[in-house]
Structure 1
Amino acid sequence: MPNPAAQTVVSNPAYDPSEASHYKVIRRNNAMVTFDASKIHIAMTKAFLAVEGGSGAASARVRDLVTRLTGQVIEALQRRQPGGGTFHIEDIQDQVELALMRAGEHEVARAYVLYREERARERRQQSISAPQADIPQIQVKYPDGTQRTLDLKRLRAVIEEACSGLGEAVSVDTLMSNTSKNLYDGISEDELFQAPILASRVMIERDPAYAYVSARLLLDRVRWEVLGEAATQAEMAARYPEYFRDYLQTGIAHELIDPRLGQYDLDRITAAIKPERDLNFQYLGLQILYDRYFLHVRERHIELPQSFWMRVAMGLAVNEVDREEQAIAFYEVLSSFDFVSSTPTLFNSGTLRPQLSSCFLTTVGDDLDDIYEAIKENALLSKFSGGLGNDWTPVRALGSFIKGTNGKSQGVVPFLKVVNDTAVAVNQGGKRKGAVCAYLETWHMDIEEFLELRKNTGDDRRRTHDMNTANWIPDLFMERVESGTAWTLFSPNETADLHDLTGSAFRERYEHYERMADAGEIELYKKIPALQLWRKMLTMLFETGHPWITFKDPCNLRSPQQHVGVVHSSNLCTEITLNTNDKEIAVCNLGSVNLIAHLKNTASTDQSALRTDSTPEDLLELLDTDKLSRTIRTAMRMLDNVIDMNYYAVAKARNSNMRHRPVGLGLMGFSDALLEMRIPYASPAAVAFADISQEVISYYAIEASADLAQERGSYPSFQGSLWSQGVLPIDSIELLAASREHGVDVDRSMRLDWNGLRDKVRKGIRNSNCLAIAPTATISNIVGVSQGIEPIYQNLYVKSNLSGEFTVVNSYLVHDLKRQGLWDEVMVNDLKYFDGSVLPVDRIPAALKPLYANAFETDPEWLVEAAARRQKWLDQAQSLNLYFGQPSGKKIDETYRLAWKRGLKTTYYLRSLGATAAEKSTVQTGTLNAVSGHQPKACAIDDPTCEACQ
């Protein structure tokens, strides 16, 4: 077979050489040449012709197939280094081999592998027989133009330090060997730092321990950039205090850091810094921090991980009486990953423009001035990293009369197009895309066109491809769906009070307007079957991912603040339920407890058995409630401080936040906790754990807020709230149940001393709202745990976001398979082939498969049942995605009706497998029993807009 790496230049019009102009190829002799995509095409064509011949139809098939496969190889290479870089010749050949295998061209792939092995043997033989020559020295180019010989001893020392303490799972020699493939004579200093990182990154799929190795190698590069010279981790215990002082001075001088941080007792602060916690990061987490969170001066970063955490902590403690004591306490929970503040807080705490709040909710008035004022507010709020939820229900519908012009309205949709484009234009300082969600009540005359905003067909002037949308559904509509009766659409300029009515009051007024319409007393209305509209809602949700399904009455009837207003929408991620009006923009301030960090030692757990029927009492014993109490007390103080420290771009947001002081304490790592306890997500025990874990978190959050009220006073609008009446979230379920004919079907059991807490809360509470579960799309990646309350997405996959592509492997699965002697290269390839699913892999024991079933292999009813148990403890809502591996109209319909009946306030994305996903056969049996490729509809996992309130 001809040499696949042959350097013969042949013109190939299928590829544009300029596309690869930023890439180089390192040959086996360490020489570097320009990357030429056509050579991959030539080598692959020769491989096919050597096996199949080259006549007639076969030749045409080969030409088309090779063109497609070559494109896949190039795409795979460029994904690894999207900004340009170098590839070793063997890396390219590895990708060619993978492309052939994935295309099912096994004979060609086999011949290709055998040829590579033969050539490798020839090179080894030549090496043995040839006279030994000195190993050529590699020269490194430095930024000042000088060159120095590569210090191989230091390179090995860095790799040894990165592997230290990780045991036999990692190999220094293997990493040194793979790193050498990325070296060439004349390599730049930056590329030299990158070489071992690239070598380690590709090993993550073989063992998750390499995620820590990769992070430590990246840390070596970050230290070099920040300190201006190389420094080992061992040296940082002595270096951090001096560096931290210099870092603050630099940040203050460049107007990046609040000068008040320089007024702390820095001896006390620096003594509390723990450099060893730099080693707790996995690669994805540290890379995200480096790319998007660490402060920089003219593209040179000035922050290291522990100075980052301390800057956030000090920024939140500036107004404390003993600010050093509180800053250190805040630093402890952040740097240990016990609790993490939301992304805006991490971005901006301790800076001169501390916009720390996560999300903003607005109501748009039915007036041109109000509409464009709302759009301006969107831009200002989005500029400083806030996610937006807009209530558009008051705006009159298409065709309604406009008295001022004696004309007719164009409705809501044209304005939403402007909102969409504003979100794109204001990109949050280049850190991430602006993001907004528009809400509309189900009785609005524009609802049918609203449902189609995310379609890819139709008039593009009436489409919003970049913003999110959500239905705001009253209970009465769901009752009409259940009964199969008609539903009437109105324009809000004729039925304006429906916007502010809920429960029985809404029902009475709505039915009154229906009678008026029947009598001809309302000009603009439309009657349609409620079930027809519901089906269109679900159809659009499945096809476009929007609008989301959220429920108006549970959000309002269970709101602690119903005495001072109405909840008109949720936020960008559907976990916030706060009042809005023309004078108040609701604000929420978020952070999440890391649940996996608050389990007791489970080392004694029987690793061969699964817990499927454990009671809440059993599971309570596995929670470290003392540590949870301490963490939550500190977290609630941090969240309350956000309100006072916050920069408010809009006065209406400040007024609302100061008057009501809402916060949203959430959680992450729920799936990790289940895996640690050996509990499958699809089990009664998982539902019970959702119940008990949320009860404990809620209890301590409410208690901490009540204690803060004793120290700082209750929030100004406390009197008249449900809190002041001793009505806690667990009690407010009865308010919702009383408004429904069939009540709310959810378990109401409790285990903690809620009576004692009711008495304390009646005396005062610091925050109008305390609890909300956000998606934690970014902060969970930073600390290396599962997102929010999500089930496992996949056991092995490549994640893409603004920081690049990252291999993610389920370390719990790897541990289980290692224990049984099943973790090897074949298993890695099997998991790749089946897109991270364990179900089709025959080698994996049947007993493990329920534990590691992914989100699409878990019946969504289990997610709803677990969410219903959490919802009873929440004064706000939770960001709940629903996954459908084999979606059908019936299943989707049943699941969303169940969510409503269980009393859920909101749902988030509907995620389903691609309808055209091809089935794959197992290597062992050849049966068609697995689905190729998780391709969720409008999936937010890799969408930066999903992160806007994180």
Structure 2
Amino acid sequence: MSPTVIKRDGSVANLDLNEIRDAIAYAIEGYPLNSLELESRVNLQLNQPRTTRFIQETLVNTAVQLATPKDPEWLNVAGRLHIWNWTHEVIAKRGYGYGHYDVFSDTNLFSKYTSQLKIYSQRDLQEAVSWIEPELDKVFDHAGATLLTQRYLSDDELIQEVFLVTALVLAIPERMDERMSYARAFYMAIAHRKISLATPILANLRFEGGSGTSCFILSVEDSIESIFDNVKNTARISQEGGGVGINLSRIRAVGSWVRSKPNVSGGLMSWIRILNDTAIAVNQGGRRAGAVTVAADIWHLDIPEFLEMRSEAGDQRRKAYDVFPQVVVTDNFMRRVEQGATWTLVDPYEVKQVLGIDLPNLWGTEFDDAYEQIEEAASMGDLTLAQTVNARNLFIDILETQVETGLPYIAFKDALNRANPNKHIGIIPSVNLCCESFSVVVPGKLAHSCNLASVNLAQVEDDELPEICQLAVRLLDNTIDVTTAPIGEARNHNRELRTIGVGVLGLADYLAKRGLRYQDKREIRELFKEFSYQCLMGSVLLAKERGSYPAINSSEYGMGNILGKSRSQRPEWKALYDLFDFYGIRNSHIMAIAPNTSSSLIQGCTASVLPPYAKFNAESLGKGDVMKAVPFLREYGDNYQENQRIDQRVVVDAIAEMQKWVDTGISMELVFNLNPDVYEPNKTVDASDIYDTALRAWRRGLKAIYYIRTVKEDRLSEVDGCGDSCTL
């Protein structure tokens, strides 16, 4: 008796092996692989009826098992088979696939997005579906295909349809006579993987009321009302898929006064526990647990306990394992680290009550002067809640905690605020969840919010860079106008500052294809100088068309400076300055390089600007690990540098070259290999190397250090990461 198969419509038929061979032939086309290898390895166990889905999943899993560093293309074959299966499931569910659209009927591709696309005529939509390129579904490897279907697609959507509808939504703010032209340009850039969209844009914007904003930063006042207002704000942001940063430095320390009663305050950890539980309870649109980073300044009296929030030792009621701590350090502190000098921890409430100093609001020389006054008061006994520690020992405690847990992040407050173009409005208190996006935050008035996208350097040719950079700026500026901000402070921020974050990913691929290395600082510098110029030009051209951001007066931009430099300091940018002098600039922050860990899987490139951890390895993804190879392993494999084997001082120096041209931040994860003889013979990384590298990052003007991870016996330390939440 012939084996039978249960089809997607529930009917039973004899198994046709030719259909399996057709699927394999489709998936293997164009790759230097032998289809018989897959056919011979497949074990369908046909002693009982099997569903079509079972057969397809078996093919996918077998293709993944065939993948090796010698034949990495089997991962692409698995990706094609996965999408083949998904496409046929969708067709079975709704009755049509690509190319079978009737936008004039009541039930059509766009019917579920009616409220979002009502600005378009049926004729517009009929034209739009003609842009779809179904063949582009074949470019995803197994990791990218799996991520797309797990996280981004509803069970009745196809990939190119989601890209198209998102592009149409992003083009809504355009003038009527240009809207379709830009919608097509957006679709082509997204579908051809030249521009990578952050998850809130790709997952949310095609639905009514969706938020496209990735990153938020809140700042909490020292009051019960402000604390719980921001717990609610955190829940609302998380519900929409955003990553939340919360600065808690104003909250009084353990043992401080409450209503004139001494030794009553429970300190930071009491409130962090509530935020921790909020992050768990309010997941990101059902995709994953909420992602929250909590920040405290390095002078806060609760810093020692703050550093232990993820450790197993101590009172478990004072722990918070589901939020991500960050320590905000000043240049004053870092200078004392270098000197091995003392450092004083204080209670912000007492400092404000006794000395009238709002310490969290200060940086630079103002902080230095105020801190000298505070230390004198502490030495005289005027401050009862003060503790003197050794600055270097405290910094080493931070680094040891990072090595143990990957955290806390380190934010360099003075570097953040020196580059702040909007000093006339307020300060940048801390960084976002992935350490690359930040701007002015005013408690109760302005919450930093940023929309993110990235230019895929692995796919963009050199002559395309100007067009793609400027298109990414335009796309993100449009996002501000079509997104629904989850809280009022974010709406205010969007309206006044129009912050965006154009990043890049695939730098390792870009370098490998050109035979360059991370030590080639001049080439890296020139690339990011051009990237910066084109993004800035894109925002200036938008200002010409739409006007400058409302808060530009009295800003660095209002004083004629770009990236903190006047035109006399950058004569090679004359064309940019000529336009800027007349029209201003549309966005107050423009560039931010996110980690892009998940996004890179879809983009088929290496993540962000760092070397890949390994050329061929397992990548953690939601429901399990997936195999991942660098995209050009067969062609340029020898040119790739692996992060597990590159001296991290090289990484710091390369990031420093990029940072000169990026107005916001860069997610920089450091990976230290503790195995002997990795970097050079008879050399093993020790604590002093990690300490020196962290100091190097500060000295080179970097704005933050993301995770620190270690490799021991060829295993990368586990970090319960934010899951790429701010880029999603």
Correspondence list, 1:249-268, <5 A: 249=107, 258-260=116-118, 263=121, 265-268=124-127
Matched, 1:720 2:581: no
1:272, distance to aligned residue in structure 2 (A): 1.6
What SS does the corresponding residue of 2:350 show, helix, strand or coil? coil
Indicate the residue corresponding to 2:452 in structure 1: 590
What SS does the corresponding residue of 2:454 show, helix, strand or coil? strand
* Correspondent of 2:481 among 624, 644, 647: 644
For residues 14-71 of structure 1, the C-alpha deviation after alignment (integer angstroms, 9 at most, x for no partner) is: xxxxxxxxxxxxxxxxxxxxxxxxxxxxxxxxxxxxxxxxxxxxxxxxxxxxxxxxxx
Go from structure 1 to structure 2 and tell me whether the alpha carbon gap of 1:255 and 1:812 turns closer, same or farther (over 3 Å shift).
closer
Partner Cα distance (2:597, 2:115) in 1 = 26
1:141, distance to aligned residue in structure 2 (A): 2.1
Partner Cα distance (1:595, 1:816) in 2 = 15
CA contact (8 A) 2:593 2:665 kept: yes
Which residue identity lines up with residue 868 of structure 1 in the other structure? A
Larger CA deviation: 710-719 vs 277-286: 277-286
Indicate the residue corresponding to 1:38 in structure 2: none
* Correspondent of 1:902 among 686, 697, 700: 700
CA contact (8 A) 1:442 1:473 kept: yes
Partner Cα distance (2:365, 2:511) in 1 = 40
1:256, distance to aligned residue in structure 2 (A): 8.6
What SS does the corresponding residue of 1:946 show, helix, strand or coil? coil
Matched, 1:876 2:664: yes
Partner Cα distance (1:184, 1:491) in 2 = 72
Go from structure 1 to structure 2 and tell me whether the alpha carbon gap of 1:578 and 1:431 turns closer, same or farther (over 3 Å shift).
same
Indicate the residue corresponding to 1:745 in structure 2: none
Indicate the residue corresponding to 2:579 in structure 1: 760
* Correspondent of 2:209 among 353, 358, 371: 353
Indicate the residue corresponding to 1:519 in structure 2: 380
1:201, distance to aligned residue in structure 2 (A): 1.8
Larger CA deviation: 392-401 vs 215-224: 215-224
Correspondence list, 1:282-297, <5 A: 282-295=141-154
1:255, distance to aligned residue in structure 2 (A): 6.7
Partner Cα distance (2:590, 2:397) in 1 = 35
Partner Cα distance (1:435, 1:935) in 2 = 22
* Correspondent of 1:186 among 43, 49, 68: 49
Partner Cα distance (1:936, 1:247) in 2 = 55
CA contact (8 A) 1:557 1:732 kept: no
* Correspondent of 2:601 among 781, 784, 793: 781
Partner Cα distance (1:772, 1:201) in 2 = 34
What SS does the corresponding residue of 1:306 show, helix, strand or coil? helix
Correspondence list, 1:535-546, <5 A: 535-546=396-407
Indicate the residue corresponding to 1:688 in structure 2: 522
Correspondence list, 1:1-150, <5 A: 137-142=2-7, 145-150=10-15
Indicate the residue corresponding to 2:37 in structure 1: 174
Partner Cα distance (2:72, 2:396) in 1 = 44
Indicate the residue corresponding to 2:81 in structure 1: 217
Structure 1: segments with no counterpart, 5+ residues: 1-135, 296-300, 600-623, 735-747, 818-847, 918-932
Structure 2: segments with no counterpart, 5+ residues: 353-357, 675-684
Partner Cα distance (1:532, 1:596) in 2 = 43
Partner Cα distance (1:730, 1:688) in 2 = 22
Which residue identity lines up with residue 720 of structure 1 in the other structure? S
Correspondence list, 1:635-714, <5 A: 635-681=472-518, 683=519, 685=520, 687-714=521-548
1:533, distance to aligned residue in structure 2 (A): 1.0
CA contact (8 A) 2:171 2:179 kept: yes
Partner Cα distance (2:346, 2:163) in 1 = 52
Matched, 1:279 2:138: yes
Which residue identity lines up with residue 610 of structure 2 in the other structure? E
Alpha-carbon RMSD across the aligned residues, in angstroms, is 2.4
Indicate the residue corresponding to 2:341 in structure 1: 485
Which residue identity lines up with residue 798 of structure 1 in the other structure? A
Partner Cα distance (1:371, 1:157) in 2 = 60
What SS does the corresponding residue of 2:130 show, helix, strand or coil? helix
Partner Cα distance (1:571, 1:812) in 2 = 32
What SS does the corresponding residue of 1:430 show, helix, strand or coil? coil
Indicate the residue corresponding to 1:307 in structure 2: 161
What SS does the corresponding residue of 1:561 show, helix, strand or coil? coil
Correspondence list, 1:594-605, <5 A: 594-599=456-461
* Correspondent of 1:447 among 297, 303, 320: 303
CA contact (8 A) 1:182 1:195 kept: no
1:144, distance to aligned residue in structure 2 (A): 5.7
Go from structure 1 to structure 2 and tell me whether the alpha carbon gap of 1:144 and 1:164 turns closer, same or farther (over 3 Å shift).
closer
Matched, 1:936 2:717: yes
1:810, distance to aligned residue in structure 2 (A): 3.5
Partner Cα distance (1:244, 1:365) in 2 = 55
Partner Cα distance (1:261, 1:223) in 2 = 29
Which residue identity lines up with residue 527 of structure 1 in the other structure? T
Correspondence list, 1:880-891, <5 A: 880-886=668-674, 887-891=685-689
CA contact (8 A) 1:573 1:908 kept: yes
Indicate the residue corresponding to 2:30 in structure 1: 165
> Percent same amino acid among aligned pairs?
32
Which residue identity lines up with residue 719 of structure 2 in the other structure? A
Partner Cα distance (1:530, 1:328) in 2 = 56
Partner Cα distance (1:635, 1:571) in 2 = 21
1:372, distance to aligned residue in structure 2 (A): 1.0
Indicate the residue corresponding to 1:632 in structure 2: 469
Partner Cα distance (1:733, 1:387) in 2 = 36
1:499, distance to aligned residue in structure 2 (A): 1.1
Go from structure 1 to structure 2 and tell me whether the alpha carbon gap of 1:262 and 1:802 turns closer, same or farther (over 3 Å shift).
farther
Indicate the residue corresponding to 1:861 in structure 2: 649
Matched, 1:329 2:185: yes
Matched, 1:505 2:339: no
Partner Cα distance (1:257, 1:152) in 2 = 45
Which residue identity lines up with residue 245 of structure 2 in the other structure? G
CA contact (8 A) 1:313 1:327 kept: yes
Give TM-score, length-normalised by structure 2.
0.93
Partner Cα distance (1:595, 1:575) in 2 = 18
Go from structure 1 to structure 2 and tell me whether the alpha carbon gap of 1:597 and 1:144 turns closer, same or farther (over 3 Å shift).
closer
Partner Cα distance (2:575, 2:22) in 1 = 58
Partner Cα distance (2:261, 2:111) in 1 = 55
Which residue identity lines up with residue 650 of structure 2 in the other structure? W
For residues 760-781 of structure 1, the C-alpha deviation after alignment (integer angstroms, 9 at most, x for no partner) is: 3233100000011000111111
Indicate the residue corresponding to 2:681 in structure 1: none
Partner Cα distance (2:477, 2:623) in 1 = 31
Partner Cα distance (1:938, 1:674) in 2 = 28
Which residue identity lines up with residue 633 of structure 1 in the other structure? Q
1:816, distance to aligned residue in structure 2 (A): 5.7
CA contact (8 A) 1:358 1:590 kept: yes
1:261, distance to aligned residue in structure 2 (A): 6.8
1:571, distance to aligned residue in structure 2 (A): 0.3
Partner Cα distance (1:668, 1:182) in 2 = 42
Which residue identity lines up with residue 156 of structure 2 in the other structure? I
Which residue identity lines up with residue 193 of structure 1 in the other structure? Q
Partner Cα distance (1:261, 1:431) in 2 = 30
CA contact (8 A) 1:572 1:949 kept: no
Indicate the residue corresponding to 2:239 in structure 1: 383
1:143, distance to aligned residue in structure 2 (A): 5.5
CA contact (8 A) 1:360 1:571 kept: yes
* Correspondent of 1:580 among 437, 441, 457: 441
Give TM-score, length-normalised by structure 1.
0.72
What SS does the corresponding residue of 1:137 show, helix, strand or coil? coil
CA contact (8 A) 1:856 1:913 kept: yes
Partner Cα distance (1:260, 1:550) in 2 = 44
Matched, 1:371 2:227: yes
Number of residue pairs the alignment of both structures matches: 707
What SS does the corresponding residue of 2:558 show, helix, strand or coil? helix
Partner Cα distance (1:556, 1:722) in 2 = 12
